[in-house]
Amino acid sequence: MRTIQILCLICFLALFNCNSNKETKADTKTQIETEKPKQYITVLGIAQDAGYPHINCENDCCKSFYDGEEPKKLVSCLGLVDLEDEKKYIFDATPDFTEQTQLLKTNHLDNETIIDGVFLTHAHIGHYTGLMYLGFEALGANKVPVYAMPRMKSYLETSGPWSQLLTFENIELIPIQHDSVVSLNNNLKVTPFLVPHRDEYSETVGYIIEGQHKKALFIPDIDKWEKWERNIIEEVKKVDYAFVDASFFRDGELDRDMSKIPHPFTTQTTTLFENEDLETKNKIHFIHFNHHKNSLHHYLYNNLHFHFINSLPNYFYYYFYFISKLF
């Protein structure tokens, strides 16, 4: 059974491979330069909260980084750029916030603003702690808009050191609600929605990011698809691109009780979609990877372009073009 599942997964993943497109990278780069979009999404990170390399990891997966064989992977994060309105937004404030905001500035839009808005998913370390770089000891920012759900907002307001960001007016909290649309302008809308996760300090949300013509789904963290009141297959069919949780490949990947840190295993997700058509499968892009390297998880890392945008310069233009077609 496991052999069949692995073979199905390999076939399924092959359907996602952006390299199946017959355009050369040079042709793609030229096409981008002539079809530069006004609004687009860019992937700024793909790793799980602890990043890559992982703290105190002496396994081959992290040894590859220290041996110079693998680039650093930034923590899972999306950027939303509006060149027409000269605004840029980021989805989650990760521990790599400094590098990710610099990527947006250098590669996409330098509007003399660190960021025009931060959309938080939840209060786990990989998703909000980057806010510290906006604080008194670092940037000393001035009222950066931070979009937060009710519990997330309350946590930041009442818990130090985060509350100091409000005392010094480094950030301005913008309340958002489940399934309530946030209109950034006439062309861009963002809608948060609740998902089941380990909600110790806040609720957890995913986001629908919607342009004039296309939509993207962003769910970096969720416990299990079957615990969600919505059907992930139907939700993927409603959008054009779906960035979904791929924290773990399969059970037993960690030397810990993985039932206490539930996520949908990549094998479970691909099995769910194995009978769907090619159009639906091609919408899925795995994100939020754990650092462990087994053969297929490593395949996802290195062959399907799930890298933060400047880790592989030769792939940057293709992936940028691919994602930029969102809007």
The model's pTM: 0.81
Percentage of the chain with pLDDT > 90? 52
State the pLDDT confidence band at 18, using cuts at 50, 70 and 90.
Answer: very low
Question: Residues 6 or more apart from 27 whose CB is under 8 A from it?
Answer: none
pLDDT of residue 222: 86
Long-range contacts of 312-319 (CB under 8 A, 24+ apart): 312/71, 314/25, 315/25, 317/25, 317/28, 317/29, 317/32, 318/18, 318/19, 318/21, 318/23, 318/25, 318/28, 319/18, 319/43
Give one DSSP letter per residue of 42-89, joined into a string: EEEE-B-TT-BSPTT--SHHHHHHHTTSS--B-BSEEEEEETTTTEEE
Query: In this structure, what DSSP letter does residue 184 have?
Result: S
CB 163 within 8 A of CB 178: no
3-state class of 175 per DSSP? strand
Residues in the chain: 327
Average pLDDT over all residues of the chain? 80
Q: What is the dihedral of CA 6, 9, 14, 15, to 10 degrees?
A: 160
Model confidence pLDDT, tens digit, residues 157-208 = 999 999 999 999 999 999 999 999 999 999 999 999 999 988 899 999 999 9
> Given this model, what pLDDT does residue 8 score?
44
Q: Which domains does the chain have, with CATH numbers?
A: 37-324 (3.60.15.10)
Residues forming a β-bridge with 171: 144
Average pLDDT over residues 114-129: 96
Q: Provide the pLDDT for residue 72.
A: 87
> pLDDT per residue over 305-327, tens digit each?
322 223 332 223 223 333 433 44
Structure tokens at 15: 């359907």
Confidence at residue 7, expressed as pLDDT on a 0 to 100 scale:
42
What are the CA-CA distances from residue 132 to residues 94, 160, 165, 175, 244 (Å)?
10, 11, 8, 19, 26
pLDDT, one tens digit per residue, over 234-255 is 999 999 999 998 877 666 666 6
User: Poorest-confidence range of 3-12, 141-150, 206-215, 217-226?
Assistant: 3-12
> Quick one: which of 228, 203, 322, 246 has its CA closest to 73?
246
| CA angle, 151 then 157 then 163, to 5° | 140
The CA radius of gyration of the chain, in Å to the nearest whole number, is 19
